[in-house]
Chains A and B, each alone.
Chain A
Amino acid sequence: MKGGAIDMSKLDPILTKHEGQKEALISVLQEVQGEFGYVPEEAIERIADALKLFPSQVYGVVTFYSQFYLTPRGRNTIRVCRGTDCHVQRTTSLLAAIEQTLGIKEGETTDDLRFSLEPATCLGKCSLAPVIMVNRDYYGKIVPRELETILKRYE
């Protein structure tokens, strides 16, 4: 498990508060994610039990909303734009370069939890295509060899 053992007892206060409340699922998931930074797989069955839901329902909701994560998140999130303009400007090669440098695929997180890599549709800065975004910073019109310097800024 990435990031070492997790302390599941942190779930208890959240679950006790919402015992038996099926409708509270989304807020419970938000609280759990707030506590752990993601929704740990082990939490799903316990959430289901506490809210009197079935695990498959909880999983369905977790995967439905892109705001919920089932794996720990990196401290920094890289988004590589897959919008049309950026695509024309070859963000795919950027993506490949990042994947190679970090040794992870889209949707994954590095073992040291430094970076998560996520797909993005148009990031809204098409005139700067190709665009990537790290946390809240935009980088436009970049080429693969600039990546190293950019990533160095994030610990």
Chain B
Amino acid sequence: MEQITLSLNGSQVNGRPGTTILDLAQQNGIHIPTLCHDPHLIPIGACRVCLVENEATGALLASCVTPIAPGMVINTESPKVLEARRTVVELLLASHPDSCIICDKGNRCQLRKIASDLEIGQVRFGKTRHYYPIEDTNPFLERDLSKCILCGKCIRGCQELQGAWAIDYAYRGFDSKPATSLEVPLEQSPCEFCGLCVSLCPTGALYEKMRKYKGRETKRVRTICPFCGCGCGIYLELRDQEVIGVSADAENPVNKISLCVKGRYGYDFINHGDRLKKPLIRKNGELEEASWEEALDLVASKLEQIRGESGADSIACLSSAKSTNEENYLLQKFARAVIGTNNVDHCARLCHSVTVAGLAISFGSGAMTNSIAEIEDADVILITGSNTTETHPIIALRVRRAVMKGAKLIVIDPRKIDITKYATLWLSQNPGTDVAWLNGLMHIIIEEDLWDKDYVEKRTEKFEELRETVKKYTPDFVEGISGIPQDRLREAARIYASGERATILYSMGITQHTTGTDNVKSIANLAMLCGNVGIESGGVNPLRGQNNMQGACDMGALPNVLPGYQRLSDQEAAPKFEKAWGRRLPANSGLTVVETMRAAEEGKIRAMYIMGENPMISDPDLKHVEAALKKLDFLVVQDIFLTETAQLAHVVLPSVTFAEKDGTFTNTERRVQRIREAIDPIAEARPDWQIICQLASRMGYKMNYEHPSQIMEEIAKLTPSYGGIYYDRLEKEGLQWPCPNRDHPGTRYLHKDRFTRGLGLFQAVEYIPPAETPDEDYPYILSTGRVLYHYHAGSMSRRCQGLDEIYPESLAEINPSDAQELGVEDGEMVRIASRRGEVEVKAKVTERAPKGVVFMNFHFNEAAANILTNPALDPVGKIPEYKVCAVRMEKA
């Protein structure tokens, strides 16, 4: 491309057309101060601090908005520039309070830094101040707008990047300031406490509350957020052995400078006083502290004893979607090679097992087909069964940005969730009727001749069966089942089919049903029908919930497959593992999570080894889970806190958080990313991988790894899709599998030109109603899920002060008309009962919940939604039906 030549501080330099003077200077290592500029925001050229002189004309130019031009003679430090810059800064200081000494922004304040660089001591102008009260009613950030210089970064960040639009400019002239609508406190506005505005603010006008008086960090460590499957890059900011803050890793392609509230403010669980410090052994009914020697010896001998008495299959391991890939790999190796059973599973079973099953059949590979960043460039987005804003905040940002760029968004969800605010079309279906409306969409698309015939012919098979099956799903018929008005369904079909690059995002609202596998297959059918798989920004994108759920599955922490989804019966794979591991492998598939619990209750499973999971909150039908765990002869729980499950254990082994170990997580877009040890293990806690190794040795199987990187080398050798993944390659940026060899750059989107299985397979499915539907005794539908401020069973997020303060208790969302019938007011307690148990919980009366449906989150043990849920399983994926069960409600 042609280059522009100009003079910059006396040297001749080249730049691409369109480059700003500021960018060019930065590329050439010349610093120009800025206040209103950030490379991630659209420049506005408001503050004039970045002035430079074009000595060819004598003009002063705002370098952040002025593109370079041939023949410019730029001086960034001419006397004229310095004088003008000084004036600008002095003017800003004239309306700024003299509180630098006590301001918590301290030496992170850009204004102060620039002033001192310019050697400004005295301000020549008369002071004209604004006094605003400090707003500090929320737990995360304080606003002292008397220090605001109106750079607009907070507003632009909140609008352009976060898409929340909590704030905008209000008033004008001297009175102008960033404000929420009606100037309500942030917590009453659409603010999501993402903290982006704080990180952008160049002055002390916005600052982090939790960081006050903590001083400046002494070290920053680059790692990955542990709170969800987005896998945002973060820096942990440390003062010695304490994590005092988190900032975004702007180099990480997943999130750039954005984070959500959990990632940014949910770090205080790491140094929390409740952390387990020593192993615990149950003696005379009580858990008592013990040494590692004693605890490990006991676990080893007990497991050996039980295996001796009842066989290896009487033992089951639960792995963890929160632990690293290396640890998941080791735990399944431990189960298979050391204990000798395939009874290993983890809670992906409860979330996305049907995705793995369904998409593997349709496409040959059960993961997100496309990447997070690509969503921003889709022209049609269909979201169903995903409360994206709360469960995958950073993905929701991409969706919002796509909409701001003009994409059409269709949301099909029973609840009026946040993302519906951005939607072109929102349809509320009756819970559990997904196959019906999906077939309905395909019926319309075929009837109106909107499908991609060329694609269907060249890239897929079994289309005729699909065409036959969806014939009877007329809009009228579908309306009867799903409650979606015919014309709206038609509109949705036309919008989806009109997309050049249409993407489907789904999550547990699709999978957590007895028909979960069918739902997933139907989604795959729809995407293939319109030729949307194997293209950039299109695809079928299951959003995986926990930080390493994708990785835990990839590592074979599943009872029916080995690492990389290689089948137990695979004639090549199985012997390869046997050779590498030096043991004969059990051939029969093991038990899944819910099956394990049933077997335990029946006495067939006698011992369980649970790493970092809390089934006492997360599994369906908790009463039975409790009975099952109590019946065990031996229960070992390895965790960071004494969770509800750990309280039932015979031995509790203290493990470390993500901040105290090295390893990798694989995010929902298949990106394998490094986590790094930032602080020493708390007290005597040890990383999961070390504990497993030590235990294996005691059971006569050597696991010699000095560092997780050596485990990853073993994984790479045995797992084709991870074949090229080595730690040295992960230093700068993660790699997306499939990455078969050391030279492979990783794969951004799957199924380009060819499906993993060859041709895409249409799998026609019929609608089947949910296992439990409302009746006279239990007239309401209960649906469960997550909220923005908490994570999983709550053991981490509820120990984060800010998160707990802003969302301190469970709330059941009830539609106003149902509330009225029940005589329940907002904030009153309701009793909710299903055939399996009952809970009392505070009602939140809101239009978000449709009539006849009550929604509960599962983060709180005091009102554990899973006491109520139905353990009826999808026959293929064995996922329980968390999203639909029948309940009755009354005022408590």
B179 touching A54 by the CB < 8 A rule? no
Minimal beta-carbon separation of B673 from chain A (angstroms): 33
A45 touching B170 by the CB < 8 A rule? no
Return chain A residues, CB-CB under 8 Å to B168.
54, 56-57, 59-60
Evaluate whether A60 and B190 lie within 8 angstroms (CB atoms) in the complex, with A41-B182, A45-B181 already known: no
Interface assignment of B166: CB less than 8 Å from any CB of chain A: yes
A interface: dominant SS: helix
Return chain A residues, CB-CB under 8 Å to B172.
63-64
Return chain B residues, CB-CB under 8 Å to A48.
181
A54 touching B190 by the CB < 8 A rule? yes
Interface assignment of A55: CB less than 8 Å from any CB of chain B: yes
B171 touching A54 by the CB < 8 A rule? no
Q: How far is the CA of A55 from the CA of B188 in the complex (A)?
A: 12
Interface assignment of B271: CB less than 8 Å from any CB of chain A: no
Q: Chain A 11-37, CB within 8 Å of chain B: the 1/0 string?
A: 000000000000000000000000000
Evaluate whether A63 and B171 lie within 8 angstroms (CB atoms) in the complex, with A41-B182, A45-B181, A56-B181 already known: yes
A64 touching B171 by the CB < 8 A rule? yes
Q: How far is the CA of A139 from the CA of B197 in the complex (A)?
A: 49
In the complex, residue of chain B having the shortest beta-carbon distance to the beta carbon of A65: B172
Interface assignment of A58: CB less than 8 Å from any CB of chain B: yes
Return chain B residues, CB-CB under 8 Å to A63.
170-172, 179
Interface assignment of B778: CB less than 8 Å from any CB of chain A: no
Interface assignment of B169: CB less than 8 Å from any CB of chain A: yes
- Within 152-188 of B, Cβ neighbours of A (below 8 Å) are at 165-172, 179-183
A44 touching B170 by the CB < 8 A rule? no
- Within 502-559 of B, Cβ neighbours of A (below 8 Å) are at none
Of B165, B171, B182, which is within 8 A of A57 by CB? B165
Evaluate whether A44 and B190 lie within 8 angstroms (CB atoms) in the complex, with A56-B166, A60-B170 already known: no
Interface assignment of B498: CB less than 8 Å from any CB of chain A: no
Evaluate whether A64 and B170 lie within 8 angstroms (CB atoms) in the complex, with A54-B190, A57-B165 already known: yes
- Pick from A48, A58, A63, A70 the residue with the most CB of B within 10 Å: A63
B171 touching A56 by the CB < 8 A rule? no
A59 touching B190 by the CB < 8 A rule? no
Minimal beta-carbon separation of A4 from chain B (angstroms): 20
Return chain B residues, CB-CB under 8 Å to A44.
181-182
Q: How far is the CA of A98 from the CA of B227 in the complex (A)?
A: 59
Q: How far is the CA of A55 from the CA of B183 in the complex (A)?
A: 11
Return chain B residues, CB-CB under 8 Å to A56.
165-168, 179-181, 189-190
Q: How far is the CA of A98 from the CA of B30 in the complex (A)?
A: 59
Q: How many residues of A contact B (CB 8 A)?
A: 14
Q: How far is the CA of A70 from the CA of B182 in the complex (A)?
A: 9
A59 touching B165 by the CB < 8 A rule? no
Return chain B residues, CB-CB under 8 Å to A41.
182
Minimal beta-carbon separation of B379 from chain A (angstroms): 18
Q: How far is the CA of A60 from the CA of B175 in the complex (A)?
A: 12
A54 touching B182 by the CB < 8 A rule? no
In the complex, residue of chain B having the shortest beta-carbon distance to the beta carbon of A66: B172
- Pick from A41, A54, A64 the residue with the most CB of B within 10 Å: A54
Return chain B residues, CB-CB under 8 Å to A54.
165, 168, 181, 190
Q: How far is the CA of A143 from the CA of B285 in the complex (A)?
A: 89
- Within 127-167 of B, Cβ neighbours of A (below 8 Å) are at 165-167
In the complex, residue of chain B having the shortest beta-carbon distance to the beta carbon of A41: B182
Q: How far is the CA of A59 from the CA of B172 in the complex (A)?
A: 12
Return chain A residues, CB-CB under 8 Å to B182.
41, 44, 55, 59, 70
Q: How far is the CA of A58 from the CA of B171 in the complex (A)?
A: 12
Return chain A residues, CB-CB under 8 Å to B167.
56
Return chain B residues, CB-CB under 8 Å to A58.
181
Minimal beta-carbon separation of B171 from chain A (angstroms): 5
- Pick from A48, A58, A60, A64 the residue with the most CB of B within 10 Å: A60
Q: How far is the CA of A59 from the CA of B189 in the complex (A)?
A: 12
In the complex, residue of chain A having the shortest beta-carbon distance to the beta carbon of B169: A60
- Pick from B165, B168, B170 the residue with the most CB of A within 10 Å: B168
- Pick from A59, A64, A70 the residue with the most CB of B within 10 Å: A59
Q: Chain A 58-75, CB within 8 Å of chain B: the 1/0 string?
A: 111001100000100000
Return chain A residues, CB-CB under 8 Å to B183.
59
Return chain B residues, CB-CB under 8 Å to A55.
181-182, 189-190
Q: Chain B 440-476, CB within 8 Å of chain A: the 1/0 string?
A: 0000000000000000000000000000000000000
In the complex, residue of chain B having the shortest beta-carbon distance to the beta carbon of A42: B182
Q: How far is the CA of A58 from the CA of B180 in the complex (A)?
A: 10
Q: How far is the CA of A133 from the CA of B168 in the complex (A)?
A: 34
Minimal beta-carbon separation of A70 from chain B (angstroms): 8
Q: How far is the CA of A48 from the CA of B181 in the complex (A)?
A: 10
Return chain A residues, CB-CB under 8 Å to B166.
56
Return chain B residues, CB-CB under 8 Å to A60.
168-170, 179
Minimal beta-carbon separation of A117 from chain B (angstroms): 18
Q: How far is the CA of A57 from the CA of B190 in the complex (A)?
A: 12
In the complex, residue of chain B having the shortest beta-carbon distance to the beta carbon of A64: B172
- Within 46-98 of A, Cβ neighbours of B (below 8 Å) are at 48, 54-60, 63-64, 70
Q: How far is the CA of A60 from the CA of B168 in the complex (A)?
A: 6
- Within 92-135 of A, Cβ neighbours of B (below 8 Å) are at none
Q: How far is the CA of A64 from the CA of B175 in the complex (A)?
A: 10
Minimal beta-carbon separation of B179 from chain A (angstroms): 7
In the complex, residue of chain B having the shortest beta-carbon distance to the beta carbon of A60: B168
Q: How far is the CA of A63 from the CA of B180 in the complex (A)?
A: 12
Return chain B residues, CB-CB under 8 Å to A57.
165, 168
Return chain B residues, CB-CB under 8 Å to A70.
182
Return chain B residues, CB-CB under 8 Å to A45.
181
Q: How far is the CA of A45 from the CA of B847 in the complex (A)?
A: 15
Q: How far is the CA of A34 from the CA of B481 in the complex (A)?
A: 47
In the complex, residue of chain B having the shortest beta-carbon distance to the beta carbon of A54: B165
Minimal beta-carbon separation of B722 from chain A (angstroms): 44
Q: Chain B 89-118, CB within 8 Å of chain A: the 1/0 string?
A: 000000000000000000000000000000
Minimal beta-carbon separation of B424 from chain A (angstroms): 10
Minimal beta-carbon separation of B741 from chain A (angstroms): 48
Q: Chain B 44-57, CB within 8 Å of chain A: the 1/0 string?
A: 00000000000000
Q: How far is the CA of A58 from the CA of B170 in the complex (A)?
A: 9
Return chain A residues, CB-CB under 8 Å to B190.
54-56
In the complex, residue of chain A having the shortest beta-carbon distance to the beta carbon of B167: A56
In the complex, residue of chain B having the shortest beta-carbon distance to the beta carbon of A57: B168
Minimal beta-carbon separation of B389 from chain A (angstroms): 14
Q: How far is the CA of A44 from the CA of B189 in the complex (A)?
A: 13
Minimal beta-carbon separation of B846 from chain A (angstroms): 15
Return chain A residues, CB-CB under 8 Å to B171.
63-64
Minimal beta-carbon separation of B133 from chain A (angstroms): 17
Return chain A residues, CB-CB under 8 Å to B179.
56, 59-60, 63
In the complex, residue of chain A having the shortest beta-carbon distance to the beta carbon of B165: A54
> Told that A55-B182, A56-B179 touch, could you supply 15 new A-B pairs with CB distance under 8 A?
A54-B190, A55-B189, A55-B190, A56-B166, A56-B167, A56-B181, A56-B190, A59-B180, A59-B183, A60-B169, A64-B169, A64-B170, A64-B171, A64-B172, A70-B182
18 A-B pairs within 8 Å (CB atoms) are namely: A44-B182, A45-B181, A48-B181, A54-B190, A55-B182, A55-B189, A55-B190, A56-B166, A56-B181, A56-B189, A56-B190, A59-B168, A59-B170, A59-B182, A60-B169, A60-B179, A63-B171, A64-B171
The 4 closest A-B pairs by CB, nearest first: A54-B165, A55-B181, A60-B168, A59-B181
Binding site for A on B (CB under 8 A): 165-172, 179-183, 189-190
